[in-house]
Each structure stands twice: as structure tokens, then as C-alpha cells.
């Protein structure tokens, strides 16, 4: 199987390419992809792997502001990592993450993501670590705790000296 990895900002993807990404995510998440989830995937840099059958894998990194260690930092937040069903477990997820981690390393203070149980294995094998402190968000009514995100929020290359909480910027839908 011949594959090609490329990166592109959302603005550089044609409508047909964006439809292919959304279809891949819809399938990979068993139809559980809301309009807000889709919106969270846009506006950053996408890593896309194509093969002879079309889009085989995708991931994106978008900017989030996160208060970590008492400072608000530019954080590369990983979204929409998915591999087409027929090519799972062939290394394409790793190739996507290689590209995204390179972007995070060059453009952000650290990386963050919210992992599914299935995805957590990939991230842990790559050095991402589960955050064991509190997870919060600065919402319209102030800071709110997100206990459902605790244990599934992962960090990569985070600076030392943090306290026991992460405070994410607010967004509609699932905050993380």
C-alpha cells in the first residue's frame, strides 16, 4: 500500500477534502460527531494520509489557551485523529501523530488532547501522559470543573512546575 502524508491549514483544504475528512471522522466515531465536534477540528493544521482508496487517516492540531502552572499558554490541542477501518493498526495513526507532534513542538508550549479508551494506548506509547489533576474551563459564568474529563486528558511535552489543575478556554459543545 502506497500512502502519502501531507499537512495543510484548514484554509488550504478544498470543500471536497473537508467533506472527506468529516466523512472519515463520522465513520470512525460511529456517527457520534456533532457539528460542534466538527467545528473543533477546524482552524488549525491538519495531517492527512491518502492511499489509493482516498483519505486513510487524519488528525488536526488547533490552538487553545490553557492556564497551566499559573500562566495562560498557547497549547496545541489535538483533534479528530482517526484512521479508516480497513487500514487500522498499520502505523497510519503514528504517522499522523508524528506530524502533529512536530507542529506542537515548533508552535506551542505543549500539546493536549482528550483521549478515548481506544486512542489512549496510541498516545501513551508516544509519551503522552494522562493528567492526574483537576480539569476546568473558563466559561461564560466563570471557572467550572469538568470532572468527566479527568483521567482522559493527556499532555505532551508539558513544561515542569505546574500546579494541580488545567483551565481550558471555553468552546461550545464538548469543552474538551
Mean pLDDT confidence for 70-93 = 96
Question: If you compute the radius of gyration of the chain from its CA atoms, what whole number of angstroms results?
Answer: 16
Average pLDDT of the chain?
A: 95
Taking only the tens place, the pLDDT of each residue in 49-69 is: 999 999 999 999 999 999 998
Domain 4-169 has CATH 3.40.50.300: no
Taking only the tens place, the pLDDT of each residue in 31-40 is: 999 999 999 9
Contact 123, 113 (CB under 8 A): yes
Is the pLDDT at 15 greater than 70, yes or no? yes
- CA torsion sign for 90, 120, 57, 30 is positive
Please give the pLDDT value at position 175: 94
- CA torsion sign for 54, 57, 61, 62 is positive
Task: Tell me the pLDDT band of 1, cut-offs 50, 70 and 90.
Answer: confident
Is the pLDDT at 88 greater than 70, yes or no? yes
Please give the pLDDT value at position 161: 66
**Cross-strand bridge partners of residue 7:** 47
Contact 154, 129 (CB under 8 A): yes
Q: How far is CA 54 from CA 28, 110, 161, in A?
A: 15, 31, 44
Q: Report CA 153 to chain centroid distance, whole Å.
A: 11
State the SS3 of 74-104: EEEEEEEEEECHHHCCCCHHHHHHHHHHHHH
Q: What angle do CA 146, 9, 69 make, to 5 degrees?
A: 35
Taking only the tens place, the pLDDT of each residue in 129-153 is: 999 999 999 999 999 999 999 999 9
Task: Tell me the pLDDT band of 162, cut-offs 50, 70 and 90.
Answer: low
Mean pLDDT confidence for 62-78 = 95
104 exposure class (CB count in 10 Å sphere: 0-12, 13-18, 19+): buried
Task: Tell me the pLDDT band of 159, cut-offs 50, 70 and 90.
Answer: confident
Taking only the tens place, the pLDDT of each residue in 97-130 is: 999 999 999 999 999 999 999 899 999 999 999 9
Please count the other Cβ atoms lying within 10 Å of the Cβ belonging to residue 140: 6
Please give the pLDDT value at position 70: 87
State how beta strands 165-169 and 153-156 pair.
unpaired
Amino acid at each position: 500500500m502506497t500512502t502519502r502524508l501531507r499537512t495543510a491549514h484548514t484554509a488550504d483544504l478544498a470543500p471536497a477534502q473537508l467533506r472527506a475528512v468529516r466523512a472519515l471522522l463520522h465513520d470512525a466515531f460511529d456517527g457520534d460527531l456533532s457539528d460542534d465536534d466538527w467545528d473543533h477540528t477546524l482552524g488549525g493544521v491538519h495531517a492527512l494520509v491518502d492511499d489509493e482508496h482516498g483519505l486513510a487517516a487524519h488528525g488536526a492540531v488547533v490552538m487553545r489557551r490553557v492556564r497551566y502552572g499559573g500562566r495562560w499558554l498557547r497549547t496545541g490541542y489535538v483533534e479528530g485523529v482517526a484512521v479508516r477501518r480497513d487500514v487500522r493498526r498499520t502505523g497510519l495513526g503514528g504517522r499522523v501523530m508524528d506530524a502533529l507532534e512536530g507542529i506542537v513542538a515548533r508552535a506551542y508550549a505543549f500539546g493536549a488532547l482528550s483521549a478515548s479508551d481506544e486512542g489512549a494506548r496510541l498516545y501513551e506509547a508516544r509519551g503522552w501522559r494522562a493528567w492526574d489533576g483537576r480539569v476546568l474551563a473558563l466559561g461564560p459564568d466563570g471557572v467550572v470543573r469538568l470532572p468527566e474529563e479527568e483521567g482522559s486528558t493527556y499532555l505532551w511535552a508539558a513544561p515542569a512546575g505546574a500546579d494541580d489543575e488545567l483551565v481550558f478556554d471555553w468552546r461550545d459543545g464538548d469543552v474538551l
